[in-house]
């Protein structure tokens, strides 16, 4: 089928010569906007894709002025709205999966049209290299990006076919801008002083990321977060004013999944924006209070993202001491750790205990010697967590043993006075593990770590633990436990 036949079939002209591309696009746009029959709309999309694929480049891009760029953009926006998600008017911001049943097919049809247009633009750039066509790229790329990212992720409104089409479109867009990756497409090329499309993309999303509107379209938050995490240092700093408020807004929602997504965005910002910029205008303080409020939750999924984010933020808020000999005053590190230890003591949910135990190791490492301020409560937490199994993986007890090792290595001058309680707990732990039905490799790992803790504890006590262990009645313990004790007693004394 040639172009003239397609134009006749679409009833917009006899030949390319008798109908300009501007007029053709205008008529297609007008017909598509008023069409209510889904089958007719799908046919218009199919015919438009065919027209764009077969039309000569000179006809498609005769003189790319403001009017023609506007007409292309209007048509593209009309097509992308056709595959847009239905709006949600409920406070939850979610719709049942059946609401999105027709979206994947619509998205595929629109992707085909946009991909056809993208291919033709690429040919025009390669064959003629006209600056005017380059201006059309800058006009259309933000819309292409947002549409493809909307349908790229695994969500209720996508399927494997629609995701594949969206990926092909995004790949084509990367090529249009001479970028080597999506990250470069968004961030630009610093070595060539070429700006990316992150700014226009965020500007397009901005009206839908307000307090009143961000829940109406379920895809917006996912597009925003996907785009955000693709951009790192130093590019992200220039867009801090555009990405910080929406991230904070999403994290402040009452739904856990939104809180997690928002904190995920905020953590990326903390990691990729200089500390000075985060401290400016009290941003870091605002973020600290928002994150600290999340610590009262009982949702493991949220605590799992909040604690690492808070830990990295504290390094921004709290400056290291000028000199190692200068005493470090209590600060927000202490406040957060005190809160965590309080919650750890009374927590009974295994999934939360797992998260807390894993993060405790990171706090001990980051705080260093000032962990001695919390040894009394830390000891109670370690002893209590060693007593409770979270089989079959035993992640909690492995993390707690790691935390104990770090504490013994860092705060060793203060650990001798805690030798009795910790040694008894570790020995009980060895006896319990040796009798539990655990995989052999895991059991060996637990007992090896516990033995290492006993060795460190012996060093802290300058050999006093060895003396006590030699006095144990070997007939009262199993062979695996006895081997662990012998490793400690056979170690050279630390003077």
Higher pLDDT, 296 or 1: 296
**Residue 365 lies inside a defined structural domain of this protein:** no
CA angle 383, 333, 252 (to 5 degrees): 105
In a domain, 359, yes or no: no
Mean pLDDT of 398-427: 92
Per-residue pLDDT, 15: 62
Q: Is residue 258 included in any domain, yes or no?
A: no
- Percent residues over pLDDT 70 in the chain: 93
- The SS3 of residue 416 is helix
Domain extent, residue 155, equals 1-87+99-178
Q: Which residues contact 129 (CB under 8 A, 6 or more apart)?
A: none
Q: Does a structural domain hold residue 421?
A: yes
Q: Where among 132, 162, 178 does a domain terminate?
A: 178
> Is residue 193 over pLDDT 70?
no
In a domain, residue 410? The reply is: yes
Summarize pLDDT for 20-48 with one digit per residue, the tens. 888 889 999 999 999 888 889 999 999 99
Spatial distance between the Cα atoms of 256 and 405, rounded to a whole number of angstroms? 34
- Contact criterion met (CB below 8 Å) for 481 and 431: yes
| Mean of the per-residue pLDDT values of the chain | 89
Cis peptide before 413 (omega within 30 of 0): no
Using CA atoms, how far residue 447 sits from 315, 442, 450, in Å, is 34, 9, 5
Q: What pLDDT sits at residue 323?
A: 46
Please tell me the predicted confidence (pLDDT) of residue 221. 95
- Domain end call among 137, 155, 178: 178
pLDDT tens for 342-393 read 999 999 999 999 999 999 999 999 998 899 999 999 999 999 999 998 888 9
pLDDT tens digits, one per residue of 485-494:
888 877 675 5
- Residues 98-109 have a mean pLDDT of 94
- Give the domain-ending residue among 178, 201, 218: 178
pLDDT band at residue 315 using 50, 70 and 90 as cut-offs: very high
Residue 196 lies in a domain: no
Domain assignment present for residue 385? The answer is yes
pTM beyond 0.95: the answer is: no
Q: Per-residue pLDDT for 471 more than 60? A: yes
Least confident of 124-128, 200-204, 401-405: 124-128
Specify whether the CB–CB gap between 424 and 467 falls below 8 A: no
pLDDT higher than threshold 70 for residue 219: yes
- Total domain count for the chain? 2
What is the Cα–Cα distance from 277 to 2, expressed in whole angstroms? 58
Does pLDDT of 260 surpass 50? yes
Evaluate whether residue 28 is within a structural domain: yes
Percent share of the chain, pLDDT over 90: 64
Burial zone of 443 (CB within 10 Å; 0-12 exposed, 13-18 middle, 19+ buried): middle
Pick the more confident residue, 467 or 98: 98
pLDDT of residue 63: 82
290 vs 248: CA distance, rounded Å: 8
Residue 407 pLDDT > 80, yes or no? Answer: yes
């Amino acid at each position: 089928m040639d172009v003239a036949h397609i134009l006749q079939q679409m009833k917009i002209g006899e030949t390319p010569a008798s109908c300009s591309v501007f007029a053709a696009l205008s008529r297609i746009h007008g017909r598509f906007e008023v069409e209510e029959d889904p089958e007719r709309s799908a046919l218009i999309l199919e015919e438009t894709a065919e027209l764009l694929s077969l039309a000569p480049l000179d006809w498609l891009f005769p003189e790319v002025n403001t009017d023609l760029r506007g007409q292309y953009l209007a048509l593209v926006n009309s097509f992308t709205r056709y595959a847009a998600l239905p709006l949600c008017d409920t406070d939850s911001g979610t719709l049942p999966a059946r609401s999105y049943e027709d979206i994947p097919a619509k998205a595929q049809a629109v992707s085909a049209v946009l991909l056809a247009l993208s291919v033709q633009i690429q040919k025009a750039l390669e064959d003629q290299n006209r600056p005017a066509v380059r201006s059309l790229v800058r006009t259309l790329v933000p819309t292409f990006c947002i549409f493809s990212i909307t349908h790229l992720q695994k969500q209720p409104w996508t399927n494997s076919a629609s995701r594949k089409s969206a990926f092909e479109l995004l790949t084509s867009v990367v090529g249009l801008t001479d970028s080597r990756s999506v990250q470069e497409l968004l961030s630009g090329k610093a070595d060539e002083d070429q700006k990316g499309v992150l700014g226009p993309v965020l500007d397009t999303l901005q009206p839908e990321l307000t307090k009143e509107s961000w829940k109406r379209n379920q895809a917006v938050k996912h597009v925003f977060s996907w785009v955000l995490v693709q951009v790192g240092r130093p590019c992200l700093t220039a867009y801090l004013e555009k990405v910080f408020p929406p991230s904070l807004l999403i994290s402040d929602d009452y739904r856990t999944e939104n809180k997690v997504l928002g904190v995920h965005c905020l953590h990326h910002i903390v990691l990729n924006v200089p500390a000075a910029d985060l401290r400016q205008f009290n941003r870091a303080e605002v973020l600290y209070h928002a994150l600290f409020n999340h610590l009262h939750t009982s949702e493991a999924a949220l605590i799992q993202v909040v604690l690492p984010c808070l830990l990295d933020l504290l390094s921004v808020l709290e400056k290291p001491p000028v000199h190692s000999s200068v005493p470090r005053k209590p600060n927000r590190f202490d406040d957060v750790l005190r809160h965590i230890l309080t919650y750890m003591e009374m927590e009974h949910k295994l999934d939360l205990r797992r998260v807390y135990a894993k993060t405790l190791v990171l706090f001990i490492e980051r705080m260093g010697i000032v962990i001695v301020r919390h040894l009394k409560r830390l000891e109670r937490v370690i002893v209590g967590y060693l007593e409770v199994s979270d089989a079959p993986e035993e992640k909690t007890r492995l993390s707690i043993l790691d935390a104990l090792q770090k504490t013994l290595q860092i705060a060793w001058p203060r650990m001798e006075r805690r030798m009795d309680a910790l040694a008894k707990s570790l020995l009980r732990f060895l006896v319990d593990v040796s009798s539990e039905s655990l995989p052999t490799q895991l059991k060996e790992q637990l007992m090896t770590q516990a033995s290492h803790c006993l060795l460190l504890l012996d060093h802290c006590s300058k050999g006093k633990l060895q003396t006590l262990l030699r006095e144990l009645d070997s007939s009262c313990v199993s062979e695996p436990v006895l081997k662990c004790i012998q490793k400690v007693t056979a170690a050279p004394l630390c003077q």
